[in-house]
């Protein structure tokens, strides 16, 4: 079974673009754009192994989501993208997380 990664960001097109750009990887991508969607994904998808949060969310939202994720799913890794690289930096950031081996034995070649 492929690992499940939850991509969280304010800009829906960026999340969709990342999933399309990296669809060749053996990963099942999920997306969420707000607090409610994150909770719903965490509650309904037990196989989420990683959350990657985009840089467009403000600090208050990031803090809230980190807290929610940590309370609901302490087994899930959380990765937070910088703001400086902008929306175009999301796919490369996600790729670095995957290539960094944080998803176990996922082959990304």
Structural domains in the chain?
4-99 (3.40.50.2300)
What is the rounded average pLDDT for all residues in the chain? 89
pLDDT category at 108 given cuts 50, 70, 90 is very low
| Helices vs. strands in the chain: H and E counts, helices first | 4, 4
DSSP element (H, E) containing 8: strand 4-8
77 touches 102 (CB < 8 A) = yes
**What's the number of CA atoms in the CB half-sphere (13 Å) around residue 9?**
29
**What's the number of CA atoms in the CB half-sphere (13 Å) around residue 61?**
17
pLDDT category at 100 given cuts 50, 70, 90 is confident
- Residue predicted with more confidence, 45 or 109: 45
Which pTM does this prediction carry?
0.89
pLDDT in tens, 42-85: 999 999 999 999 998 999 999 999 999 999 999 999 999 999 99
- Ordered alpha helix ranges (H), 9-50: 12-21, 35-44
Nearest to 45 by CA among 10, 87, 83, 73: 73
Angle at 65 between CA 83 and CA 108, to 5 degrees: 65
């Amino acid at each position: 079974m492929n690992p499940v990664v939850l991509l969280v960001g304010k800009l829906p097109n960026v999340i969709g673009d990342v999933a399309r750009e990296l669809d060749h990887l053996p990963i099942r991508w999920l997306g969420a754009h707000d607090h409610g969607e994150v909770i719903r994904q965490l509650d309904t998808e037990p196989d989420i192994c990683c959350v990657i949060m985009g840089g467009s969310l403000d600090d208050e939202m990031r803090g809230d989501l980190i807290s929610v994720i940590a309370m609901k799913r302490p087994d899930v890794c959380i990765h937070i993208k910088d703001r400086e690289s902008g929306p175009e930096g999301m796919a490369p950031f996600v790729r670095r997380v995957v290539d960094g081996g944080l998803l176990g034995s996922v082959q990304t070649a």
